């Protein structure tokens, strides 16, 4: 993983794009999320230490497997492999008990450990299959690289389907409802000087956009713009204000409005680094006069209307690229004919 | 570099272990000014900051920051830890200074995940 990431992100001075950085794979996350017990094979053919090597031969041949765990009262006491069997055969010792030939020091993985733990062992030891034991060292199953691949694929497919259904439910709004102009409006009241909850509205907006099928980049872009705007209301407005987001199939309109104090010189306010922020705003990590500049960078159109004593209105508009516009997936997830 | 390695360099403590995952970290961003983070940090960065208030966590959420390290021994409040946990962002407390830890991580091969500032001063 590390090598491929290195290759992907490069030490060659190539700029890392947003898309690259977001590519930190779901697969990698899954290897931490999934437990070995989620992907292991539970139905395992076991042998007992006092079974004969002949029984090993029969079992391996019957199930076309290359080895089997050896258990005593469900507790793992060893593993026996094709190679052990060949040694016994070479000794003409097919009636010997398994315990004479089995490997007693077995590398295992715990059923509650993440899949990545098993992957680490596979990489380190070149072992192809690992017994999975529970907290009491009882055999719970066996795990192979194939089990992990299958488990991850199933999880991804499930993820993907859930996500598609969620998005479909939200985004078909724009497809199924016919009007000359369809839009979804989200409104949030922002309280002045509410630093504890500052950013909560923006957080909700970002989440809503993702639900509606926005790409992570688009959601991030909007999130950053509305967050700066929300913080402006919190820091500067007399009585708070309203944050309003209007989602349309091809654009997102965002707007904040308040009833004062208003900005005396709008042109000056748009200068990078110009700030009238309080010490408090600065202590919160804002108020360096970069907020509006940052918003401008995130949106396609920005308009600031303000006059002292009258309040401030900030309009922001993001146009969706044609491949980004909100739309339902081509087929309904329930499948045709339902 | 794995997040666990970053934490080793930071000699840091994970304050919300329930959401800790040993992510591959592709780069870092060091800032006390949250507007700078919002402007320049790329998604997936680990954020090193000396600022300690709820807006750091909000900023991390908005900017898709992968993990936050509070430097200079700053201790986030339980509310901040709770918020970060909700947002699935591991937060780490470190006694190290900003310059020192940034330098160590960069030297160890962690890329800067800040876009070039020349892009913003046309």
Which among A266, A263, A247 is positioned nearest to A255, based on CA atoms? A247
Q: CB of A89 within 8 A of CB of A61?
A: no
> A288 or A199: whose pLDDT is higher?
A199
Answer yes or no: is pLDDT of A178 > 90.
no
Q: CB of A14 within 8 A of CB of A6?
A: no
Q: CB of B65 within 8 A of CB of B49?
A: no
B71–chain A Cβ distance below 8 A for any pair: no
pLDDT tens for each residue of A281-336: 888 888 888 889 889 989 999 999 999 989 999 999 999 877 666 654 443 344 33
Contact across the interface for B59 and A198, Cβ inside 8 Å: no
Query: What pLDDT sits at residue B55?
Result: 94
Buried b (16+ CB within 10 A) or exposed e, A63-93: eeeebbbbbeeeebbbbbbeebbeebeeeee
The CB density around residue A274, as the number of other CB atoms within 10 Å, is: 15
pTM > 0.80: yes or no: no
pLDDT tens for each residue of A93-143: 889 999 999 999 999 999 999 998 999 899 888 888 899 999 888 999 999
Contact across the interface for B26 and A224, Cβ inside 8 Å: no
Using CA coordinates, name the residue in chain B closest to A227. Answer: B62
pLDDT tens for each residue of A33-77: 889 999 999 989 899 999 999 999 999 999 988 889 999 999 999
pLDDT tens for each residue of B21-65: 888 888 999 999 998 899 888 888 999 999 999 999 999 999 999
| pLDDT, mean of residues B103-116 | 86
Helix (H, G, I), strand (E, B) or coil at A41: strand
User: What is the Rg, in whole angstroms, of the alpha carbon atoms belonging to chain B?
Assistant: 13
Query: What pLDDT sits at residue A170?
Result: 63
Question: Which residues fall within 8 angstroms of residue A213, CB to CB, at 6 or more apart?
Answer: A167, A170, A171, A326, A327
The band of B120, judged by pLDDT with boundaries at 50, 70 and 90, is low
The band of A86, judged by pLDDT with boundaries at 50, 70 and 90, is very high
| pLDDT, mean of residues A207-218 | 86
Query: What pLDDT sits at residue A279?
Result: 87
B-facing residues of A in 176-215 (CB < 8 A) are 195-196, 198-200, 202-203, 206
The CB density around residue A33, as the number of other CB atoms within 10 Å, is: 15
Using CA coordinates, name the residue in chain A closest to B27. Answer: A21
Question: Which residues fall within 8 angstroms of residue A222, CB to CB, at 6 or more apart?
Answer: A205, A206, A209, A214, A245, A252, A254, A298, A318
The tokens for A269 are 């306010």
Query: What pLDDT sits at residue A337?
Result: 35
Query: What pLDDT sits at residue A205?
Result: 96
Distance linking the first and last C-alpha atoms of chain A: 42
Cα gap A233→A242, rounded to integer Å = 8
Buried b (16+ CB within 10 A) or exposed e, A194-230: ebeebbbbbbebbebbbebbbbbebbbbbbbbbbbbb
Lowest mean pLDDT among A27-36, A120-129, B8-17, B60-69: A27-36
Nearest to B62 among A202, A284, A297 (CB): A202
Cross-strand bridge partners of residue B46 = B28, B67
Question: Which residues fall within 8 angstroms of residue A131, CB to CB, at 6 or more apart?
Answer: A69, A76, A79, A106, A108, A109, A139, A141, A142
The CB density around residue A123, as the number of other CB atoms within 10 Å, is: 10
Q: What is the mean pLDDT of chain A?
A: 84
Contact across the interface for A220 and B62, Cβ inside 8 Å: yes
| pLDDT, mean of residues A223-241 | 94
């Amino acid at each position: 993983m590390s090598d491929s990431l290195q290759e992907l992100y490069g030490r060659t001075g190539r700029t890392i794009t947003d898309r690259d950085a977001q590519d930190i794979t779901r697969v990698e996350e899954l290897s931490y999320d999934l437990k070995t017990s989620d992907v292991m094979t539970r139905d395992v053919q076991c042998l007992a230490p006092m079974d004969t090597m002949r029984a090993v031969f029969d079992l391996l041949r019957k199930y076309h497997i290359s080895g089997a765990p050896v258990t005593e009262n469900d507790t793992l006491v060893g593993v026996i492999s094709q190679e052990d069997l060949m040694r016994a055969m070479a000794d003409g010792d097919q009636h010997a008990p398994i315990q004479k030939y089995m490997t007693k020091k077995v590398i295992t993985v715990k059923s509650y450990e993440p899949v990545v733990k098993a992957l680490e062992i596979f990489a380190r030891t070149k072992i192809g299959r690992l017994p999975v034991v529970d907290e009491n060292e009882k055999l719970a199953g066996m795990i192979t690289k194939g089990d992990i691949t299958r488990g991850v694929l199933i999880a991804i497919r499930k993820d993907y389907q859930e996500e598609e259904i969620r998005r479909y439910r939200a985004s078909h709004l724009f497809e199924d409802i016919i009007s000359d102009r369809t839009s979804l409006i989200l409104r949030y009241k922002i309280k002045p000087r509410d630093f504890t909850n500052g950013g909560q509205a923006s957080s909700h907006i970002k989440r809503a956009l993702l639900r509606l099928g926005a790409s992570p980049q688009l959601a991030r872009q909007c999130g950053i713009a509305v967050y700066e705007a929300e913080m402006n209301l919190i820091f500067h407005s007399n009585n708070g204000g309203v944050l309003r987001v209007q989602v349309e199939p091809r654009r997102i309109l965002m707007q904040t409005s308040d009833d004062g104090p208003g900005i005396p010189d709008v042109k000056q306010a748009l200068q990078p680094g110009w700030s009238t922020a309080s010490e408090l705003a600065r202590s919160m990590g804002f108020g360096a006069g970069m907020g509006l500049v940052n918003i401008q960078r995130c949106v396609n159109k920005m308009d600031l209307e303000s006059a002292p004593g009258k309040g401030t209105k900030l309009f922001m508009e993001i146009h969706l690229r044609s491949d980004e516009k909100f739309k339902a997936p081509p087929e309904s997830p329930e499948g045709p004919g339902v | 570099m794995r997040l666990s390695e970053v934490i080793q360099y930071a000699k840091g403590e994970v304050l919300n272990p329930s959401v800790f995952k040993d992510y591959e970290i592709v780069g870092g961003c060091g800032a006390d000014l949250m507007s700078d983070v919002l402007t320049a940090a790329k998604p997936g960065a680990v954020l090193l900051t000396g600022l300690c208030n709820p807006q750091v966590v909000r900023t991390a959420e908005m900017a898709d920051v992968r993990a936050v390290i509070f430097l200079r021994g700053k201790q986030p409040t339980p509310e901040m830890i709770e918020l970060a946990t909700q947002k699935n962002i591991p937060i780490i407390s470190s006694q190290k200074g900003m310059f020192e830890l940034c330098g160590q991580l960069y030297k160890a091969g962690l890329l800067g995940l800040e876009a070039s500032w020349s892009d913003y001063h046309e």
